[in-house]
């Protein structure tokens, strides 16, 4: 490999890697907040925090990596223009087209990695996440209950205390439940309890206990009941979904043979990220062109805007395909092919000098 290509490839790789680290750190903050919200609502057990964060990060990689590639190339090429390295290279006959080889040495492996995340790792992460949540939803620990401590119900709707619990988490002993609805309070105690499943709902069946209902403020409208069985609906959990019916969790070969519009839309959405990455990589070089000592952050904002438009159109197009508003044969090619053509046209036209006009003087 020529020394110039090694130098440019190193500059492109370092800038892209640094950009990806920053983007992943920002993405982890959002993923962490989302998983915490699911844990607080009782949909995901607290013990699955790290595993769910890892799986969700894998799912978001096909959307983060193209942006990191584009911004990294904008930073690297912008630095070459800012430090007057590109004018020096142009003076010795090395124009922007000469950057295609080191650019593709970085963009093509990145596109392959994005394709693997989009076509294989992303669906696997979705299916694995749903399966782990479904397995943990079979016992009461998903609701955050632990023996010997008070646990607040999701949404601040009350408090639950469990004195003892069987090893499989289905049988409970010495149960205390406090709930409030509007201006009414409800206190329920039970000697034992068992967890049962009715469809997608989880029900705590209390056995041999008392229930007191009355006003939260001043009043005498209290009711005392003694019961043999009393069913308490537990917080809703994250739906596990059927891997064979949910296009998000289906494998890519399964999507190819599925005639549903939702499956075709999901297939095209998985094919979009690697092609978008190649288009953004080609667009980055002409967008980064700037005179020496000029601020480069305006170009960064322009590139980020191009990414937002392209990715949002891909998401909207997927929804249109699933809803039948677009023919399935069109897919997302109406977006990907013009964007690739625009990137190639802008790249190969970058730095090309216009032909001088020859004026013919009339005698």
Q: pLDDT, tens digit, for every residue of 83-118?
A: 888 878 777 777 777 788 889 999 999 999 999 999
What is the pLDDT tens value at each position of the chain, 363 positions in all?
A: 688 889 889 999 999 999 999 999 999 998 999 888 877 766 777 778 888 899 999 999 999 999 999 999 998 888 888 888 887 877 777 777 778 888 999 999 999 999 999 999 999 998 898 888 777 655 555 555 677 878 776 555 678 888 888 776 678 888 898 888 778 888 999 998 887 777 666 677 888 899 898 888 777 788 888 988 888 776 554 454 444 567 888 888 888 888 888 989 999 999 999 999 999 999 988 888 876 666 666 677 888 898 999 999 999 999 999 888 888 888 899 999 999 999 888 888 765 544 445 555 555
- Decide if 229 contacts 206 (C-beta within 8 A): yes
Identify the H or E element spanning 124.
Answer: helix 122-136
**Kind of pairing, strands 223-233 and 171-181?**
unpaired
C-beta separation of 190 from 208 below 8 A: yes
d(CA 351, CA 310): 25
Alpha-carbon distances, residue 184 vs 210, 218, 226 (angstroms): 17, 11, 19
Alpha carbon dihedral 137, 138, 142, 146, in 10-degree steps, equals: 180
Burial label for 347, CB within 10 Å (0-12, 13-18, 19+), is buried
Q: Smallest Cα–Cα separation from 20: which of 91, 76, 82, 85?
A: 76
Whole-angstrom Cα distance, residue 150 to residue 143?
12
In 3-state terms, what secondary structure has residue 204? strand
First-residue to last-residue Cα distance in the chain:
57
- CA dist 29 to 105, 263, 301, Å? 31, 31, 22
Distance CA 167, CA 311 (A): 48
CA dist 359 and 132 (Å) reads 75
- In this prediction, residue 241 carries a pLDDT of 46
Give the pLDDT of residue 139.
Answer: 52
Burial annotation 33-57 (CB, 10 A radius, 16+ → b, else e): eebeebbeebbbbeebeebbbebbb
Within 13 A of 270's CA, how many CA atoms are on the CB side? 26
What's residue 315's pLDDT? 92
pLDDT of the residue at 169? 67
The region, left, alpha or beta by phi > 0 then psi within -120 to 50, assigned to residue 293 is left
Q: Is the pTM of this model over 0.85?
A: no
CB count in 10 Å sphere of residue 343: 22
**What residues contact residue 129 under an 8 Å CB cut-off, 6+ apart?**
52, 55, 56
- pLDDT tens by residue, 21-62: 999 999 999 899 988 887 776 677 777 888 889 999 999 999
pLDDT at 240: 47
pLDDT at 138: 57
Contact call for residues 343 and 282 (beta carbons, < 8 A): yes
Burial (CB count within 10 angstroms: exposed 0-12, middle 13-18, buried 19+), residue 221: exposed
Q: How far apart are CA 331 and CA 54, in angstroms?
A: 30
């Amino acid at each position: 490999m020529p020394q110039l290509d090694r130098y440019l490839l190193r500059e492109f790789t370092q800038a892209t890697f640094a950009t990806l680290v920053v983007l992943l750190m920002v993405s982890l903050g959002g993923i962490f907040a989302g998983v915490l919200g699911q844990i607080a609502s009782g949909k995901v057990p607290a013990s699955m925090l790290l595993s769910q964060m890892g799986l969700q990060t894998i799912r978001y990689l096909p959307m983060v990596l193209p942006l990191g590639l584009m911004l990294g190339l904008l930073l690297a090429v912008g630095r070459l223009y800012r430090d007057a390295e590109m004018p020096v290279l142009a003076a010795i006959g090395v124009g922007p087209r000469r950057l295609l080889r080191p650019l593709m040495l970085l963009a093509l492996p990145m596109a392959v990695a994005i394709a693997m995340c989009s076509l294989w790792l992303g669906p696997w992460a979705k299916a694995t996440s749903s399966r782990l949540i479904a397995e943990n939803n079979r016992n009461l620990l998903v609701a955050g209950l632990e023996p010997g401590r008070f646990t607040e119900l999701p949404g601040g709707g009350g408090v639950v205390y469990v004195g003892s619990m069987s090893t499989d988490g289905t049988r409970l002993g010495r149960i205390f439940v406090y709930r409030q609805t509007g201006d009414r309070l409800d206190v329920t105690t039970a000697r034992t309890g068992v967890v049962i499943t009715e469809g997608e709902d989880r029900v705590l069946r209390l056995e041999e206990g008392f229930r007191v209902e009355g006003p939260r403020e001043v009043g005498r409208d209290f009711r005392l009941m003694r019961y043999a069985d009393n069913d308490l609906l537990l917080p809703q959990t994250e739906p596990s979904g059927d891997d064979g019916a949910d296009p998000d969790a289906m494998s890519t070969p399964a999507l190819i043979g599925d005639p549903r519009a939702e499956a075709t839309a999901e297939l095209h959405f998985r094919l979009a990220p690697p092609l978008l990455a190649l288009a953004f990589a080609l667009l980055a070089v002409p967008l980064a062109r700037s005179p020496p000592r000029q601020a480069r952050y305006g170009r960064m904002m322009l590139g980020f805007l191009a990414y937002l438009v392209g990715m949002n159109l891909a998401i909207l197009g997927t929804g249109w395909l699933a809803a039948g508003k677009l023919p399935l044969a069109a897919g997302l090619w109406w977006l990907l092919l013009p964007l690739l053509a625009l990137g190639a046209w802008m790249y190969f036209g970058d730095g090309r000098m216009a032909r001088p006009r020859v004026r013919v003087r009339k005698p």
